[in-house]
Structure 1
Amino acid sequence: MKPIWIVDDDQSIRFVLEKALLRDGLPTRSFTNPREVLQALEAAGDEGGPQVLVSDIRMPGGSGLDLLGKVKEKLPGLPVIIMTAFSDLDSAVSAFQGGAFEYLPKPFDLPKAVELIRRAVEESQREEVAEERMGATPEMLGQAPAMQDVFRAIGRLSQSNVTVLITGESGSGKELVARALHKHSQRASGPFVAINTAAIPKDLLESELFGHERGAFTGAQTMRRGRFEQADGGTLFLDEIGDMPFDLQTRLLRVLSDGSFYRVGGHSAVKANVRVIAATHQDLEQRVREGGFREDLFHRLNVIRLRLPRLTDRREDIPMLTRHFLQQSARQLGVEPKRISDAAVARLGTFGFPGNVRQLENICHWLTVMAPAQMIEEKDLPPEVLGDEPVPAPMAQAVVAPPAASPARADEGLAAPASSQAPATVSGTALGRPAGSADEAWEHGLEVEANALLASGCHDVWDALTRRFESKLILAALASTRGRRIEAAQKLGIGRNTITRKIQELGLE
């Protein structure tokens, strides 16, 4: 891991932060003025910089704000935390215009400072993963006429900043199309920011979108930029827009109308130059008729609509996608890619794929793990494809593959990035399809195992089964992220400290 760079002319501040971060397992490097930092950056090159930069705002020989601007020119994705005395808060707030991650008021509470730096590290690692995914993403795959229509539309829209509404079933590739629209637009050098409006609680969504001022609500100790400000000069992707709360739709309409908004608790309008791309699997016209979606917002979003086909409407793409996903899964798991017979591909071509392309990706990941030989035959396909009745399995034999991506995901697509992860499978059955007997099978297996343990007189059944279940989940998540704990925790929906503690408690080191 790259070190945390600390810039402060006060030796005691540097010493305290160094010791606290080293105790927390974070390497550090310290500087006394901005000039030393810039020299170190020049000597280190693009790959040798810091994970996070923590800088004082007033130092002999240079300003932290000037340093922020110069560092952002060289490393635009680097999180920078500005330390400042309370009398400098006006200057600190202005630092956000230069792209600061947060500011740290002096005197600071040391545990809170370490936690803030930890959050910045996680943000930095998310940026690295996103860049890795974007760099590894192939052009979307598809020879079917319906997909060629989508490709042509992306090409036509490449010189336009018009708002786009992407519709299609879950798993059909909406976010990949949004990323392609950004990548091939005049805003490609700007940020691509994605948010799933259905995955964030209503009470938090307003702050996520528009940011908040310090003291706007309990716990708002600092000013925070929202997704609109983060996407300034680039593209904001609003996934599952049909689930946005009605009162927030009004605020979104204003932003789309004049490009300005207010942070939560703010009194000054903020301008943001953002292209909005929205997506939904819902029928928005029906939502408008039912009164759940504003008609004026619908018309504002529905300037250009791209309709993505279901996988069953482009069956000729299944062989190509299958082989692509098998290669991708092999890279993720660090194994030799498996081949698939023509008979097995033909059988996949007859399957209904209620989960669309994402479900095909899940199946390929399952086959990479579960198929007994390097050549996948028809009989090796999972039960839901073969139409077989699943056989209940005890928990001890359950197989848990990598979990589904986080809400702001890049895996629902025509060809997912090479580092994107496949959703979970339990007892060899892929999730992401309609609930049915296969879903009930592993639950029945759990019941069988629990009954066996209870009958044996065991008095710690809860702990025994929970440890096994948690171990499988964590190991699968770590395998899917190649050991990156923070990303694994995000995929599981737990905190960094939680996954670290669980790994220690379960003996998974």
Structure 2
Amino acid sequence: MSQGAVIWVVDDDETIRFVLQRALRRGGYQVECFEDVASVRRALEHARPAVMLTDIRLPDEDGLGLIDTLQAAGADIPVVAMTAYSDLDQTVSAYQKGVFDYLPKPFDLDQVISVVERAVAPAPVGTMPTDVSRKRTAGGHQLIGESAAMQEVFRTIGRLYRSDINVLITGETGTGKEVVARVLHEHSPRARHPFIALNTAAIPSELLESELFGHERGAFTGAHARREGRFEEAAGGTLFLDEIGDMPLGLQTRLLRVLAEGEYYRVGGRDLLSANARVIAATHQDLEAKVADGSFREDLYHRLNVIHVALPPLRDRREDIGLLARRFLHEAAEELGLEEKQLRPDTGRALARYDWPGNVRQLQNVCRQLSVMAPAEQIFPQDLPPEIHDLPPTGEAGDRWADALRNWARAELHAGAGNLVGRAQAEMERVLIDCALERTGGQRIKAAELLGLGRNTLTRKLKQHDAGDNGVQDSART
């Protein structure tokens, strides 16, 4: 780490400035804070930081405009962009603009320190400068999401916008692996060339080789004419191989050779062809487990898994469900020529409680169904399919416990109180234990199972809470 390096923090939120300043100073850096672009430009007239952290949405103008200012001044200063309103297009645009890294809020302070450490480190010899002149507009395949997991997917796509390196996308069925592959293609140097998708699990194994590499006339029974394969169709562009985990071992060997040497023959052919396609593969299976049991080649796995994008199941990004549902309802209304239906708040909460085994694809299908079948402009919980509507409600107060916690924390901080984490954890444990014991009629073994605790651990925690209660009562008496 470059001790004593000067870091500039640009944010109109005083709390963010204070937190970052304290964390960076503890890390050994000198920190100066600014609340708008104009004050930064004035400071640049007589000083230069080692790294600049800037919010994108500032009161006077876009924080990314500072990159243009730095370039005009000939200042090669790493810029780290921060924002609480991140989406795919904004993330990619930031990387195209030339940011060193991109941090969606709320961020982890350890992550901030790590990014700053990398930014102040000397660039390796031979590192190419960022090409900020290249712009690319997104196509029709959009990703949306406010969850931390989706923000990481956006960052990965943003970092890859100048690359045509191989990518492996993993995730459960219906999480949107092909959508990610298309977006990676649209934000790559190959965007003007074809995107060809092939589901390897949907093609009989005896025909898959011909699908991939093409065949010559007479190569096998029924081959009445020469046919181009998917590698030829994707020339200059991207070949997306979905469900790669189902590819037969023999064909895995041939695919490995193409990826390693960049050349192949058509089935029954003698002309050596050049493979000029970026390969993006996807699977819902655990390829490492398949490598271990011998059903997937380890060397092919490493060829495909240069960059790994892991898509979370929808149940692990519940904060995105309402956002996705509104998007799908809008798209369904446009596609079907219908009035756009609106989600009632209680309906949105019902959608968020459901686990969505079919993931985003299932949610999209439900929204299409609701666009046709819901009788009113607003969608009520009873309009939902029975498996969603019949889930036991958690209640509005339960759904908003995080908001209640946030309000409590703000009030305590305003009053100058301390030990917030310890007190909140103790109270949370107390409530969970009480509810579990109430559910089991006081049976500690069953309550411990519901809580995911051992019986001895539950007994110990009950004693701790009882002691805490007695201490409070004794203090009140005195």
TM-score, scaled to structure 2 = 0.52
The one of 220, 225, 238 aligned to 1:222: 225
The one of 241, 247, 251 aligned to 1:248: 251
Could you list the structure 1 runs, at least 4 aligned residues long, displaced by more than 4 angstroms after superposition: none
Q: Secondary structure at the match of 2:296?
A: coil
Task: Give a deviation string over 1:97-140, Cα, whole Å, max 9, x none.
Answer: xxxxxxxxxxxxxxxxxxxxxxxxxxxxxxxxxxxxx9872531
CA contact (8 A) 2:139 2:186 kept: no
For 1:287, the equivalent position in structure 2 comes to: 290
The one of 350, 363, 379 aligned to 1:347: 350
For 1:192, the equivalent position in structure 2 comes to: 195
> How far, CA to CA, are the matches of 1:225 and 1:200 in structure 2?
16
> How far, CA to CA, are the matches of 1:150 and 1:334 in structure 2?
33
> How far, CA to CA, are the matches of 1:333 and 1:245 in structure 2?
41
> How far, CA to CA, are the matches of 2:366 and 2:193 in structure 1?
35
> How far, CA to CA, are the matches of 2:297 and 2:139 in structure 1?
38
For 1:358, the equivalent position in structure 2 comes to: 361
Q: Secondary structure at the match of 1:172?
A: coil
Q: Secondary structure at the match of 1:161?
A: coil
For 1:506, the equivalent position in structure 2 comes to: none
> How far, CA to CA, are the matches of 1:140 and 1:287 in structure 2?
29
> How far, CA to CA, are the matches of 1:176 and 1:160 in structure 2?
18
Give the aligned residue type for 1:210: F
Question: Equivalent residues in 2 for 1:98-247 (5 A)?
Answer: 137=140, 139-247=142-250
> How far, CA to CA, are the matches of 2:274 and 2:324 in structure 1?
42
For 1:462, the equivalent position in structure 2 comes to: none
Q: Secondary structure at the match of 1:352?
A: coil
Identical residues among aligned pairs (%): 62
> How far, CA to CA, are the matches of 1:303 and 1:352 in structure 2?
31
For 1:387, the equivalent position in structure 2 comes to: 390
**Displacement of 1:378 after TM fit?**
1.1
The one of 313, 317, 320 aligned to 1:317: 320
Provide the aligned length of Structure 1 versus Structure 2: 256
**Displacement of 1:379 after TM fit?**
1.3
> How far, CA to CA, are the matches of 1:234 and 1:206 in structure 2?
20
Give the aligned residue type for 1:353: W
Give the aligned residue type for 2:146: Q
**With CA pairs under 8 Å and 6+ residues apart, which has the higher RCO, 1 or 2?**
1
> How far, CA to CA, are the matches of 1:140 and 1:341 in structure 2?
24
Task: Give a deviation string over 1:140-176, Cα, whole Å, max 9, x none.
Answer: 1111111010000001011112110000011111011
Q: Structure 1 residues 329 and 206, CA, compared in 2 at 3 Å: closer, same or farther? A: same
Q: Structure 1 residues 138 and 278, CA, compared in 2 at 3 Å: closer, same or farther? A: closer
The one of 263, 283, 301 aligned to 1:260: 263
Q: Secondary structure at the match of 2:161?
A: helix
Question: Equivalent residues in 2 for 1:461-472 (5 A)?
Answer: none
Structure with max Cα Rg: 2
Task: Give a deviation string over 1:6-47, Cα, whole Å, max 9, x none.
Answer: xxxxxxxxxxxxxxxxxxxxxxxxxxxxxxxxxxxxxxxxxx
Gaps of 5+ in 1: 1-133, 389-509
Does structure 1 residue 278 correspond to structure 2 residue 274?
Answer: no
**Displacement of 1:224 after TM fit?**
0.6
For 2:307, the equivalent position in structure 1 comes to: 304
> How far, CA to CA, are the matches of 1:258 and 1:384 in structure 2?
51
Task: Give a deviation string over 1:37-90, Cα, whole Å, max 9, x none.
Answer: xxxxxxxxxxxxxxxxxxxxxxxxxxxxxxxxxxxxxxxxxxxxxxxxxxxxxx
> How far, CA to CA, are the matches of 1:207 and 1:331 in structure 2?
39
Q: Secondary structure at the match of 2:196?
A: strand
Does structure 1 residue 326 correspond to structure 2 residue 329?
Answer: yes
Q: Secondary structure at the match of 1:220?
A: coil
> How far, CA to CA, are the matches of 1:203 and 1:234 in structure 2?
26
Task: Give a deviation string over 1:276-299, Cα, whole Å, max 9, x none.
Answer: 000000000001111111111111
Task: Give a deviation string over 1:181-214, Cα, whole Å, max 9, x none.
Answer: 1000001111100000000111111100000001
TM-score, scaled to structure 1 = 0.49
For 2:113, the equivalent position in structure 1 comes to: none
RMSD over equivalenced CA pairs, Å: 1.6
> How far, CA to CA, are the matches of 1:150 and 1:202 in structure 2?
32
